Amino acid sequence: MAKSGAAGAPRTYAGEVNSFQPLQETADDGATSPGRSGTDGAARGSRRWAAASGAVAAGAAVVIGELLAGLFSPSLSPLTAVGGAVIDAVPPGVKDWAISLFGTADKAVFVGGMLLVIAAVGALAGILEQRRRFAGVAVIAVFGLVGLSAVLTRAQMTLAAAVVALAAALSGALLLGWLIRRLHEGPPAGAARTGAGTDAANAQGPARTATTAGRRTFLQVLAASAGATAVGGVMAAVWRGAAAGISTAREKLQLPAAASQAPAIPAGAEVGLDGMQPLVTPNRDFYRIDTALIVPSLDPESWVLRVTGMVEQEIELNLADLLAKPLVERHVTIACVSNEVGGDLIGNARWLGWPVRELLALARPQAGADMVLSRSSDGWTAGTPLEVLTDQRDALLAVGMNGEPLPLEHGFPVRMIVPGLYGYVSATKWLTELRVTRFADDVGYWTPRGWSDRGPIKTSSRIDVPRTGRRVGAGTVMFGGVAWAQHTGIGRVELRVNRGQWQAARLAPGISLDTWYQWQLGIELTPGQYEVQVRATDVSGEPQVEERRPVAPDGATGFHTIRVDVNP
Ligand SMILES: Nc1nc2c(c(=O)[nH]1)N[C@H]1C(S)=C(S)[C@@H](COP(=O)(O)O)O[C@H]1N2
Ligand SMILES: [Mo]
């Protein structure tokens, strides 16, 4: 759409405001005099629309932030973070007073109040944007920064946190800028003749058509974004409510002590090199991979696991039943098949759970069965070889992760953890069913999508220190990293510089065969640029595959290779 004839004139907009005042029909065609002053009533009416635009844009920003937080993680909600910061800043006396006044509704009242303040600030931003371009957008940007800093100080610093707050503020700002510009636009004479209008509008003349069409677009977009904001807001509220309820249930859940504790971490298992990742990955840093658009909220009270299919005895197990079993606690390193060589889609945690084989023993699989199709509450499935779930390895129906109930993102209340298999064929989160079946009859979610039906983890290794491309001082350069061959164990790790001789690294003791091992090696390097590679060999003497292959269909191979610049 063309800019109005007032382009370049001081941005007072009175004339255009008059011709674009959607509440009341103007008597003239509005096209002829961009500089003509509008009536007070028209200006007021237009200001109302600017305020409405601002309130809708601010609301849209909040709702987008909440929906994105719902997608990534509830802890990224800017609204919750800002609200929490406000509550922390309020003196205790005021808090007590609010609680006594509103009782258990205090939180709803508080959030309602926040939304009112946000709508008011948004309305102000709309009016400012109408007076001066980008003034209101700047208000929304400040808004985004407040949300971002609240999230960053309260949740952990993650890329997702920044993405949520920035995307929310950006969409709000864009919407506001767009709406106010439509509101400003005078009837574009050029567009008028091509603009599509109704017959009735056309009958009133071309300029008239443009005014009406522009006004209609403004109103349509305003109404559509208000509607979408309302619908999105209700969805976000429902998800938040569900997630909040389940988070509370999770916090209240008492995990029993393990009947069989995790083996102690051997001395020296953790190489104390700066820049190495911890041997046991904290829950908040644990990689997350799943197809769930919204983190499923499963009520632990009503959760049941069904064992179905080719079994002599179908079984239903609730959480109380499961927690009453003799649980074991084990460190297991799980990895994603999509982990590139040198990638970080791998993590090591201490899992508490009941061995899957004990449950299958009660169900008694029938002859001919060779697969267990595990299913999550949202319909995702993984096909795991039956033999892996019935041999002596610690394949678990896991309820605990590093001493606490599973985080919602990692499968609360129950998931599978199977040493030695990639997550896509084993690590079903939000677990609800184990169907004993055959590979010939059933497939897991990823198999028809280009991934192998079997997914044993490939022996691999990674250099974490120094980071690739890092400048280091000449002399002894310390290298460090991890190597893994779950359920087989690592035998040795070697490094080579510029494709020379392999040199044995000092391999730290592993926690168990099912976890990664750390290693380190100091290498004398004179100034210059080097290529350094790592190679792991499992305990049976099988080295990791050198040939570079992509992650599909069954996991990447190749040596992790870094570049090191040694300073003179
Ligand atoms: N319900 C469900 N479980 C799932 C997935 C999924 O998409 N849905 N993805 C799997 C994949 S591919 C991996 S690598 C692991 C990752 O587990 P994490 O997110 O706890 O690290 O979960 C597995 N379990
Ligand atoms: Mo994965």
Q: What is the pLDDT of residues 445-471, one digit of tens each?
A: 999 999 999 999 999 999 999 998 889
pLDDT at residue 72 in the model: 76
Examine the pLDDT at 87 and tell me if it is beyond 80. no
Whether residue 510 contacts residue 490, with contact meaning beta carbons closer than 8 Å, is answered with yes
Are 527 and 568 in contact by the 8 Å Cβ rule? The answer is yes
Kindly identify the ligand whose nearest atom is closest to the C-alpha of 398: 1
User: CA torsion 437→438→443→447, rounded to 10°?
Assistant: 140
Is residue 220 domain-shared with residue 89, that is, in the same domain?
yes
**288-305 confidence digits (pLDDT tens):** 998 886 788 899 999 999
Ligand number with the minimum distance to the CA of 338: 2
Structural domain harbouring 57: 3-241
Confidence of residue 54 (pLDDT cuts 50, 70, 90): very high
Instruction: Say if 291 falls within a structural domain.
Output: yes
pLDDT value at residue 370: 98
Whether the pLDDT of residue 76 is over 90: the answer is no
Q: Which residue has the higher pLDDT, 435 or 218?
A: 435
Q: Are 233 and 377 within one domain?
A: no
Confidence of residue 8 (pLDDT cuts 50, 70, 90): very low
Residue ending a domain, choose from 405, 427, 449: 449
Has residue 232 been placed in a domain? Answer: yes
Residues with CB under 5 A from ligand 2 (ion): 289, 336, 423-424
Q: Is the CB of 333 under 6 A from ligand 1?
A: no
Q: Which atom of ligand 1 is nearest to the CA of 287?
A: 21
Cis ω before 466 (30° cut-off from 0): yes
pLDDT(29) > 90: no
CA–centroid distance, residue 337 to ligand 2 (Å): 5
Q: Is 316 in the same domain as 373?
A: yes
Q: Is 291 in the pocket of ligand 1 (CB under 6 A)?
A: yes
Q: Is 257 among the domain residues?
A: no
| The 3-state secondary structure of 250-311, one letter per residue | HHHCCCCCCCECCCCCCCCCCCCCCCCCCCCCCHHHCCCCCCCCCCCCCCCCCCEEEEEECE
Share above pLDDT 70 across residues of the chain, in percent, rounded to a whole number: 85
Give me the CATH number covering residue 308. Answer: 3.90.420.10
Cβ neighbours of residue 384 under 8 Å, at least 6 residues apart?
A: 371, 372, 373, 374, 395, 416, 418, 421, 425, 426
φ and ψ at residue 430, rounded to 5 degrees: 50, 50
Structure confidence at residue 157 (pLDDT):
53
Question: Which residue, by CA, sits nearest to atom 1 of ligand 1?
Answer: 429
pLDDT, position 189: 33
**Do 311 and 381 sit in the same domain of this protein?**
yes
| More confidently predicted of 209 and 522 | 522
Model confidence at 88: pLDDT above 90:
no
Q: Quick one: which of 429, 399, 380, 268 has its CA closest to 328?
A: 399
Do 367 and 310 share a structural domain?
A: yes
In a mutational test of the pocket of ligand 1, which residue from 346, 375, 429, 445 has the highest number of ligand atoms less than 8 Å from its CB?
Answer: 429
Q: Is the same domain home to 185 and 227?
A: yes
Nearest residue (by CA) to ligand 1, atom 16, is 289
Rg (alpha carbons) of the chain, rounded to whole number? 31
User: Which residue reads 């009270």 in tokens?
Assistant: 301
Spatial distance between the Cα atoms of 445 and 551, rounded to a whole number of angstroms: 17
First-to-last C-alpha distance (Å) of the chain: 61
pLDDT at 409 over 50: yes
Give the least confident one: 90-94, 112-116, 144-148, 553-557: 90-94
What ligand 1 atom has the least distance to the C-alpha of 422?
Answer: 14
pLDDT tier, 117 (very low <50, low <70, confident <90, very high otherwise): very high
Looking at the structure, tell me whether residues 375 and 428 fall in a common domain: yes
CA of residue 384 to ligand 2 center, whole Å: 14
Residue 263 lies in a domain: no
Residue 251 lies in a domain: no
Say if ligand 1 is within 6 A of residue 134 CB: no
Instruction: Please give the tally of structural domains in the chain.
Output: 3
Lowest mean pLDDT across 163-177, 232-246, 472-486, 487-501? 232-246
For residue range 30-46, list pLDDT tens digits in order. Answer: 333 333 344 566 677 78
* Pocket lining: 287 vs ligand 1, CB cutoff 6 Å: yes
Read out DSSP for 110-173?
HHHHHHHHHHHHHHHHHHHHHHSTTHHHHHHHHHHHHHHHHHHHHS---HHHHHHHHHHHHHHH
40 contacts: CB under 8 Å, gap ≥ 6: none
Categorize the per-residue pLDDT at 91 as very low, low, confident or very high, splitting at 50, 70 and 90: confident
Cα torsion angle, 172, 174, 178, 180, sign: positive
Nearest residue to 169 via CA among 84, 69, 60, 71 = 60
Atom 4 of ligand 1, nearest CA residue: 428
Tell me if 433 CB under 6 Å of ligand 1: no
Do 283 and 401 meet the contact criterion of CB atoms below 8 Å apart?
Answer: yes
User: By alpha-carbon position, which residue is closest to atom 15 of ligand 1?
Assistant: 423
Residue 249 lies in a domain: no
pLDDT for 154 equals: 67
Tell me if 516 CB under 6 Å of ligand 1.
Answer: no
Q: 430 CB less than 6 Å from ligand 1?
A: yes
Check residue 211 and give its pLDDT. Answer: 65
Q: Which residues pair with 156 in a beta bridge?
A: none
- 525 Cβ contact list (under 8 Å, min separation 6): 472, 474, 475, 476, 477, 497, 564, 566
**Is 232 in contact with 58 (CB distance < 8 Å)?**
no
Backbone angles phi, psi at 399, to 5 degrees: -115, -20
Both 371 and 405 in a single domain? yes
Mean pLDDT of 333-357: 97
Is residue 197 domain-shared with residue 83, that is, in the same domain? yes
Q: What is the reported pLDDT for 103?
A: 63
SS3 63: helix
Residue nearest to atom 9 of ligand 1 (CA): 290
CA–CA–CA angle 269, 272, 278 (5° rounding): 70
Average pLDDT estimate for 493-519: 98
- For residue 424 and ligand 1, the question of a CB distance below 6 A is answered with yes
Residue 412, beta-bridge partner list: none
Residue 376 and residue 353: Cα distance in Å, rounded?
A: 17
Residues 198 and 345 in one domain: no
Best residue for ligand 1 mutational test, from 289, 338, 449 (most atoms within 8 Å of Cβ): 289
**How close is the Cα of 235 to the center of ligand 1, in Å?**
24
Among 216-220, 344-348, 417-421, 452-456, name the one with the lowest average pLDDT: 216-220
What's the CA-to-centroid distance between 25 and ligand 2, angstroms?
60
Rounded to 10 deg, the angle between the 135-154 and 159-184 helix axes is 160
Kindly state whether residues 93 and 208 are assigned to the same domain.
yes
- Cβ of 375 closer than 6 Å to ligand 1, yes or no, is no
- Give the pLDDT of residue 144: 86
Look at residue 231 and tell me if it is in a domain: yes
399 falls within a domain: yes
Tell the residue nearest (CA) to atom 13 of ligand 1.
423
Is ligand 1 within 6 A of the CB of residue 410?
A: yes
Supply the CATH number for residue 535's domain.
Answer: 2.60.40.650
Mean pLDDT of 385-392: 98
Could you say which of 395, 415, 449 is where a domain stops?
449
The whole-chain average pLDDT of the chain stands at 86
pLDDT at position 81 is 80
Q: What is the pLDDT of residue 104?
A: 59
Residues 6+ apart with CB under 8 A from 257: none
Same domain, 443 and 464: no
